[in-house]
Amino acid sequence: MSLDTPAGHLAVRMSHVQKFFGPVHANRDASLDVAVGEIHAVVGENGAGKSTLLRVLSGMYAPDGGTVEVFGRDVTGWRTANAIAAGVGMVHQHFMLVPTLTVAENVVLGREPMTGLTYDRASAESALGKLSRETGLACVPSRMVSELSVGEAQRVEILKTLYRGAKLLILDEPTAVLSPPEVGELWRVLRTVRDAGATIVLVTHKLDELMDVTDRITVMRQGKTVTGMRTSETTPAAIATAMVGRAVRLDASGMPVGAEGREVELARAVPDAGGPPDQMLISSAHDRIALSVPAAITSTLAPTPAYTDTPRLRLTAVTVAGARSKTAVDTLSLTIAPGEILGLAGVEGNGQTELIEAIAGLRPVTSGTITVDGTDITKYSIGKRLAHGITHIPEDRHARGLVLDYSIADNLILGRQKQFSSSGAINRARTLAFAEDRIKAFDIRPTDPNLPARALSGGNQQKIVVAREMPADFRVLLAAQPTRGVDVGAIEFIHDQLRAARRSGKAILLVSAELHEILALSDRVAVMYRGKIVTEMPRAEASEEVLGPWMTGAQS
């Protein structure tokens, strides 16, 4: 491993860090050198151990091996309080704000200015006001945090670290939840903070972002640091190669494309044979696209399955309320034909979750209708929807997908327990026989149907969900983040299942945070932004570059 060691003074030097969570080896040999005054990105695929490494740095986790030095001092195993005292501040991916306290109270918490016995509210608010003016991070100190927008809340998070005199700022996927103007604003702020002498480390897996804003990059893969490079001396292709672990070529749309595509999820950008129907036949409005598709792909396109006039799934002007907004889904319409995968791209938090939950019956629809094969199911209960052939791979497997303490067999019949019971009792013999069949068909390991689901790896747990939600007779599948946190082999397997279902005429709504997954599987790609579908195009026309501006609201 050859790290490009920066010249000058080091703000951070982490060497050979190890971190276990039970049997999971999240960091197996991670090193990180950050020079004072730079903006440094840690990149890697999901599960590469980026967040873990930064949490070790910020004192949230104690490492199980290796050393951590900050500003030249050995601080291995320090705690959050030590880190804060040493000028290290972390902005978490999920905001660490107390919603029932004011902005000022959140900022000063743990370092409250005092007058005598009481916490000095006035001086807290004035200190915050001053800080806000100096940094250009606007805020209203007396507002309740529960009233803030996502962008405002993130500003409060940054102010929290600056108030504590942070010289080293750590940001975990800071742009994941931001709208494009907010992203631009964030970069402006971070540059200001950097120019004032601070050092910034951030996690991201968006390559385009880090090209603009960072000075250096460290790449992680499977818990290890694989390389470090200067942003000015590298290219997205080189970074992608390092992330994936072998040569990646970029397709015409700028997506990294794997050469053989067996074990690497990034390689999924190229649809395989038996893939999508030829979009050009059905979407005359978008005929230009062929130009942007590499010849190799066009030549492997499968013949178009018969498209009927009736879509399997049709949403008409559907509005759904969310936790924060009354129009989390805003008069949205879409259709999915039999044998079609519609990929729904978008920055998380733009209503995808609410949309899926509304179709699944978990969340009431405020207005509009949902039909499946012509039948209006808007008012159906969840159970009735299931009986009508609507199945759902939920985005949060642990909360919604599985009963972790139930056996594999019991999980496989969840939702269809009625079919597996006679005179009120679950028929165990039939359940076990069914389970053994599914375990074999979906290659679930270990194969003992009586093991609790909790004992399985993430990939095998997800296979239980997929096996259950893709029986022979379903019509519409709602696949939300179907491969999140899943190992590469299982990703491959699940993708194959989705493609097989498409071939047999099912309709699939795919929501994924991974653009390359959407591009790899979809026949059509739609972009969701602020509760609406802002654009829709055939797969062949879609690319990261085309979708990016739509996803971020830059184009409308």
> Please, which of residues 52-71 interact with other proteins by CB under 8 A?
52-53, 60
Asked if 452 is part of the footprint of other proteins (rule: CB under 8 A), the reply reads yes
Q: Would you say 307 or 406 has its CB closer to other proteins?
A: 406
Residue 80 CB, shortest distance to other proteins, in Å, is 5
- Cα separations in angstroms, 151 against 64, 68, 254, 388, 436: 35, 31, 29, 41, 49
Distinct helix (H) and strand (E) counts, the chain: 18, 26
283-312 residues in contact with other proteins (CB under 8 A) are: none
82-111 residues in contact with other proteins (CB under 8 A) are: 82-85, 90, 92, 96-101, 105-106, 109-111
Residue 427 CB, shortest distance to other proteins, in Å, is 10
Q: Which of 79, 288, 324, 440 binds other proteins (CB under 8 A)?
A: 79
Strand-pairing partners, residue 173, are none
Asked if 50 is part of the footprint of other proteins (rule: CB under 8 A), the reply reads yes
- The neighbour count for residue 416, using CB atoms within 10 Å, is 15
- Tell me whether strands 476-480 and 390-393 are parallel, antiparallel or unpaired: parallel
Asked if 415 is part of the footprint of other proteins (rule: CB under 8 A), the reply reads yes
160-199 residues in contact with other proteins (CB under 8 A) are: 160
2-21 residues in contact with other proteins (CB under 8 A) are: 21
Which residue type, as a one-letter code, is found at position 137? Answer: L
Residue 47 CB, shortest distance to other proteins, in Å, is 5
Q: Which of 414, 432, 433, 554 binds other proteins (CB under 8 A)?
A: 414
Contact 30, 53 (CB under 8 A): yes
Task: Mark the segment that binds other proteins (CB under 8 A) among 6-14, 239-247, 369-377, 415-423.
Answer: 415-423
Asked if 487 is part of the footprint of other proteins (rule: CB under 8 A), the reply reads yes
**Token reading at 191:** 């540059």
Q: Would you say 119 or 496 has its CB closer to other proteins?
A: 119
Asked if 394 is part of the footprint of other proteins (rule: CB under 8 A), the reply reads yes
Q: Cα(382)–Cα(394) distance, rounded to whole angstroms?
A: 13
Task: Mark the segment that binds other proteins (CB under 8 A) among 115-123, 190-198, 234-242, 317-325.
Answer: 115-123
Q: Is the peptide bond before 538 cis (omega within 30 degrees of 0)?
A: no
Strand-pairing partners, residue 387, are none
Q: Which of 295, 399, 429, 472 binds other proteins (CB under 8 A)?
A: 399
224-263 residues in contact with other proteins (CB under 8 A) are: none
265-284 residues in contact with other proteins (CB under 8 A) are: none
Build a one-symbol-per-residue string for 510-529: x at contacts with other proteins by CB under 8 A, - elsewhere: --------------------
Q: Cα(70)–Cα(501) distance, rounded to whole angstroms?
A: 52
Which residue in 497, 394, 508, 520 sits closest to 441, CA to CA? 497
Asked if 410 is part of the footprint of other proteins (rule: CB under 8 A), the reply reads yes
**Token reading at 328:** 């989390």
Residue 258 CB, shortest distance to other proteins, in Å, is 20
The residue written with tokens 């200067």 in the block is: 230
Asked if 459 is part of the footprint of other proteins (rule: CB under 8 A), the reply reads yes
Contact 257, 248 (CB under 8 A): yes
Residue 221 CB, shortest distance to other proteins, in Å, is 9
Q: Which of 222, 231, 350, 552 binds other proteins (CB under 8 A)?
A: 222
Q: Would you say 111 or 288 has its CB closer to other proteins?
A: 111
Residue 503 CB, shortest distance to other proteins, in Å, is 27
Listed in sequence order, the residues at least 6 apart from 105 whose beta carbon sits closer than 8 Å to its beta carbon are 98, 121, 124
What is the DSSP secondary structure assignment for residue 484, as one 8-state letter? T
Task: Mark the segment that binds other proteins (CB under 8 A) among 233-241, 303-311, 404-412, 503-511.
Answer: 404-412
Q: Which of 37, 458, 505, 549 binds other proteins (CB under 8 A)?
A: 458
Contact 223, 229 (CB under 8 A): no
Task: Mark the segment that binds other proteins (CB under 8 A) among 277-285, 308-316, 444-452, 493-501.
Answer: 444-452
Q: Which of 457, 475, 549, 555 binds other proteins (CB under 8 A)?
A: 457
Q: Which of 129, 485, 505, 549 binds other proteins (CB under 8 A)?
A: 485
Put residue 165 in one of left, alpha, beta given phi > 0 → left and psi -120 to 50 → alpha.
left
Residue 118 CB, shortest distance to other proteins, in Å, is 4
Long-range contact list for 72-81, CB < 8 A, 24+ apart?
A: 72/9, 72/10
- The neighbour count for residue 552, using CB atoms within 10 Å, is 20
Q: Cα(99)–Cα(97) distance, rounded to whole angstroms?
A: 6
Q: Is the peptide bond before 446 cis (omega within 30 degrees of 0)?
A: yes
Asked if 24 is part of the footprint of other proteins (rule: CB under 8 A), the reply reads yes
The residue written with tokens 């790899």 in the block is: 520
**Which phi and psi (to 5°) does residue 118 adopt?**
-100, 155
Q: Cα(42)–Cα(222) distance, rounded to whole angstroms?
A: 13
Q: Would you say 71 or 406 has its CB closer to other proteins?
A: 406
In our burial notation (b when 16+ CB lie closer than 10 A, e otherwise), range 215-225 reads: bbbbbbbbbbb
Exposure of 432 in the CB half-sphere (CA atoms within 13 A): 7
Residue 460 CB, shortest distance to other proteins, in Å, is 9
Number of residues interacting with other proteins: please give it, by CB under 8 A.
87
Q: Would you say 124 or 347 has its CB closer to other proteins?
A: 124
353-392 residues in contact with other proteins (CB under 8 A) are: 360, 362, 381-386, 392
Task: Mark the segment that binds other proteins (CB under 8 A) among 9-17, 241-249, 294-302, 449-457.
Answer: 449-457
Asked if 405 is part of the footprint of other proteins (rule: CB under 8 A), the reply reads yes
Exposure of 339 in the CB half-sphere (CA atoms within 13 A): 18
Q: Would you say 106 or 241 has its CB closer to other proteins?
A: 106
Residue 397 CB, shortest distance to other proteins, in Å, is 9
Strand-pairing partners, residue 67, are 15
Asked if 316 is part of the footprint of other proteins (rule: CB under 8 A), the reply reads no
197-216 residues in contact with other proteins (CB under 8 A) are: 203
Of the chain, the end-to-end C-alpha distance in Å amounts to 45
Q: Cα(115)–Cα(196) distance, rounded to whole angstroms?
A: 31
